[in-house]
C-alpha cells in the first residue's frame, strides 16, 4: 500500500468549506504547519476546527482565524491568541471549550468505535449543563460523546508509505487520537522514510489510521515560550 | 507582608512525598519543582505528554518538540517517557498521579475551585484543570490570599464559574496554610511575621482558628 502523496496540495484535496477538521498539536508543538498554510491558500471557510489550542495571532490556527475561515472552534485552552479572544467575545466565532482530557478521550472514542463515555471531569460546572449524570463508585460522572471529523490532519516526525507514524517528544500530544478519529486522516511528516526503516516495535500510530501522508516542505517549528537556564 | 512566590513554592514542596508523581500547574506551582527536598525522588508529569520532566534547557539546547503544559521549553530526565494526550489524562483520571498543585482565582469553604473563566472578560479555557481537579486525591492550591483589588479569594461560595466542586483540601497562600474540612477553612500555619488577625481579616469564608497557630518553618 502506498499512501504517499506528492505535496500538501494533493494531501488536502477534498477539503471543502463547512467541513469539520481536526488538527493535532499542543500550543504550537506538533501542529501540521504546512497543511495549515495550505488551508489559508485554499480559502476554505465556515470550518469547524477541533484542536486543543488556537495557535497564536500570526502562526498556526491563528492564520485561519485572521482570514475568518473558522466558524467554530472546539478547544480546551485558547489563551495565547488575541484575535481568537476578540472574535469570541464579539460573538463572531462560535467556541466550545471542553476539558482537555475529555477532548482527547472524545477523539480517541470516535476512532475506537465508542460513541460516548462517562467522565468525572466537569461535574458541577457549566461543562456538565444538559449532560446526563450518573454515579459510579459513589462519584458523579457526566456523559461525553465521541468527536468525529471529516478530515483529521496530524503532524508526525517520521512516517512511511504504509502510513505508519512516529512522533517526537511532546509533539505527539493529540495527534495519535485525532489520526484515529478522522474519516480521512492526513499525516504531515518531517521525513518520509523507506518502508522497512521504521522499527515495527516503535510505531506510535499504525498505518491503518492514516489515508494520506506527505512530507512537509518547510518546518519553522516556532517556540511559544523559550525558557532556558544559564550555564555555570 | 508574607511570603513571596518562592516562599509559597518552598512551603508546598514540604508536602511532597518520596515516590510521588506530581502534576504542577502554570505559575507558582511550576516553581515547586525547584525545591524538592534532598534525597527525595519525585517525578513531574506534564499533561501535554511527559513524565520525568527536567529543568529548563541550557541556552541553545531548546527543542521545539519538548515543552511543558505552559508551553515552556523543558528537558527530559533520564528515565523520562513521552505519551499521547489520552494516555496522559488516563494517568490523571485514573489517579496514578498522587498530587496536583494548581493556581486559583477563588476557592470556597467547601472546596470548590474557580480558575478558568471571568464571564465577558477572560475566556482562555480550562485546559486540563477540570480533569485534574475532578480526579486528583490530593489537590493543593497555590495562590495569593486576595485578588488584585484586595478582595479575599477564600470565600463562602465562589462567584466565578467553577472548575470543580468539593475537591480542594489544602491551600497555601502568602499568609497561611489552610485545610478545608467540614465546610470550613481551618488555619494550619501562618507565614513568618504574619498575624492571625490579618489572616482572619483577609478570609471571607468561615475560618476555624485553633488556639495555637504555628509559624511556617522554611529552609
A121 touches chain B (CB under 8 A): yes
Query: Is B151 one of the catalytic residues?
Result: no
Q: What is the ipTM of this complex?
A: 0.97
> How far is Cα A95 from Cα A111, in angstroms, rounded to an integer?
23
CB B118 within 8 A of CB B125: no
Q: pLDDT tens, position by position, for chain B (219 residues)?
A: 799 999 999 999 999 999 999 999 988 999 999 999 999 999 999 999 999 999 999 999 999 999 999 999 999 999 999 999 999 999 999 999 999 999 999 999 999 999 999 988 877 899 999 999 999 989 999 999 999 999 999 999 999 999 999 999 999 999 999 999 999 999 999 999 999 999 999 999 999 999 999 999 997
- Could you tell me the pTM of the whole model? 0.96
- Name the DSSP class of A179: H
Q: What is the pLDDT of residues A31-46, one digit of tens each?
A: 999 999 999 999 999 9
The pLDDT of residue B124 is: 86
- Chain B, residues 150-189, CB within 8 A of chain A, namely 161-166
Q: What is the pLDDT of residues A142-164, one digit of tens each?
A: 999 999 999 999 999 999 999 99
Helix, strand, coil % over all residues of chain A, rounded to 5: 25, 30, 45
Nearest to A77 among B50, B83, B125 (CB): B125
> How far is Cα A26 from Cα B68, in angstroms, rounded to an integer?
10
Residues A127, B67: C-beta atoms closer than 8 Å: no
List Cβ neighbours of B128 (8 Å cut-off, separation of 6 or more).
Answer: A76, A99, A100, A101, B47, B69, B89, B92
Surface-to-core class of residue B152, CB atoms within 10 Å of its CB (0-12 exposed, 13-18 middle, 19+ buried): middle
The pLDDT of residue B122 is: 76
Instruction: Evaluate the CA torsion angle B90, B71, A176, A117 in order and state its sign.
Output: positive
CB B47 within 8 A of CB B82: no
Q: pLDDT tens, position by position, for chain A (232 residues)?
A: 899 999 999 999 999 999 999 999 999 999 999 999 999 999 999 999 999 999 999 999 999 999 999 999 999 998 778 888 889 888 899 999 999 999 999 999 999 999 999 999 999 999 999 999 999 999 999 999 999 999 999 999 999 999 999 999 999 999 999 999 999 999 999 999 999 999 999 999 999 999 999 999 999 999 999 999 988 7
Tell me the three cell numbers of residue A60: 498556526
The pLDDT of residue A202 is: 98
CB A185 within 8 A of CB A210: yes
> How far is Cα B181 from Cα A79, in angstroms, rounded to an integer?
33
Chain B residue nearest residue A125, CA to CA: B162
Residue B30, H or E segment: helix B28-31
3-state secondary structure of A194: coil
Tell me the three cell numbers of residue A203: 510505531
> How far is Cα B100 from Cα B95, in angstroms, rounded to an integer?
10
> How far is Cα B171 from Cα B107, in angstroms, rounded to an integer?
9
Residues B164, A88: C-beta atoms closer than 8 Å: no
Residues B131, A169: C-beta atoms closer than 8 Å: no
Residues forming a β-bridge with A189: A156, A215
The residue among B168, B159, B158 whose CA lies nearest residue B134 is: B168
State the smallest CA–CA distance between residue B215 and chain A in angstroms: 33
Residues forming a β-bridge with B83: none
Amino acid at each position: 500500500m502506498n499512501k504517499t502523496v506528492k505535496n500538501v496540495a494533493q494531501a488536502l484535496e477534498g477539503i471543502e468549506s463547512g467541513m469539520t477538521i481536526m488538527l493535532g498539536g499542543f500550543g504550537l508543538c506538533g501542529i501540521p504547519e504546512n497543511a495549515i498554510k495550505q488551508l489559508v491558500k485554499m480559502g476554505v471557510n465556515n470550518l469547524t476546527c477541533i484542536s486543543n489550542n488556537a495557535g497564536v495571532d500570526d502562526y498556526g490556527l491563528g492564520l485561519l482565524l485572521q482570514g475568518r475561515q473558522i466558524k467554530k472552534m472546539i478547544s480546551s485552552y485558547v489563551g495565547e491568541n488575541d484575535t481568537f479572544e476578540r472574535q469570541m467575545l464579539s460573538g463572531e466565532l462560535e467556541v466550545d471549550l471542553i476539558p482537555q482530557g475529555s477532548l482527547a478521550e472524545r477523539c480517541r472514542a470516535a476512532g475506537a468505535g465508542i460513541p460516548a463515555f462517562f467522565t468525572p471531569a466537569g461535574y458541577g460546572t457549566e461543562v456538565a449543563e444538559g449532560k446526563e449524570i450518573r454515579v459510579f463508585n459513589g462519584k458523579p460522572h457526566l456523559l461525553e460523546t465521541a468527536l468525529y471529523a471529516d478530515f483529521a490532519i496530524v503532524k508526525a516526525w517520521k512516517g512511511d508509505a504504509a502510513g505508519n507514524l512516529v512522533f517526537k517528544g511532546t509533539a505527539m500530544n493529540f495527534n495519535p487520537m485525532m489520526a484515529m478519529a478522522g474519516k480521512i486522516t492526513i499525516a504531515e511528516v518531517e521525513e518520509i522514510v523507506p518502508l522497512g526503516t521504521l522499527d515495527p516495535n516503535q510505531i506510535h500510530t499504525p498505518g491503518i489510521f492514516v489515508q494520506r501522508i506527505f512530507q512537509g516542505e518547510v518546518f519553522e517549528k516556532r517556540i511559544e515560550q523559550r525558557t532556558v537556564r544559564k550555564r555555570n | 507582608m508574607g511570603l513571596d512566590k518562592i516562599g509559597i513554592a518552598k512551603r508546598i514542596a514540604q508536602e511532597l512525598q518520596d515516590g510521588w508523581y506530581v502534576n504542577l500547574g502554570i505559575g507558582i506551582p511550576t516553581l515547586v519543582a525547584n525545591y524538592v527536598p534532598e534525597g527525595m525522588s519525585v517525578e513531574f508529569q506534564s499533561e501535554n505528554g511527559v513524565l520525568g520532566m527536567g529543568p529548563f534547557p541550557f541556552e541553545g539546547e531548546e527543542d521545539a518538540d519538548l515543552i511543558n503544559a505552559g508551553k515552556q521549553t523543558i528537558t527530559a530526565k533520564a528515565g523520562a517517557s513521552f505519551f499521547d494526550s489520552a494516555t496522559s489524562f488516563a494517568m490523571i483520571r485514573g489517579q496514578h498521579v498522587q498530587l496536583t498543585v494548581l493556581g486559583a482565582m477563588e476557592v470556597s469553604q467547601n472546596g470548590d475551585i474557580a480558575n478558568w473563566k471571568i464571564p465577558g472578560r477572560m475566556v482562555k479555557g480550562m485546559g486540563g484543570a477540570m480533569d485534574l481537579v475532578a480526579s486528583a486525591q490530593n489537590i493543593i492550591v497555590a495562590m495569593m490570599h486576595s485578588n488584585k483589588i484586595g478582595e479575599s479569594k477564600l470565600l463562602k461560595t465562589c462567584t466565578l464559574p467553577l472548575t470543580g466542586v468539593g475537591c480542594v483540601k489544602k491551600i497555601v497562600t502568602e499568609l497561611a496554610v489552610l485545610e478545608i474540612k467540614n465546610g470550613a477553612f481551618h488555619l494550619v500555619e501562618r507565614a513568618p511575621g504574619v498575624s492571625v488577625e490579618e489572616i482572619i481579616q483577609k478570609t471571607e469564608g468561615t475560618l476555624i482558628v485553633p488556639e495555637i497557630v504555628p509559624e511556617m518553618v522554611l529552609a
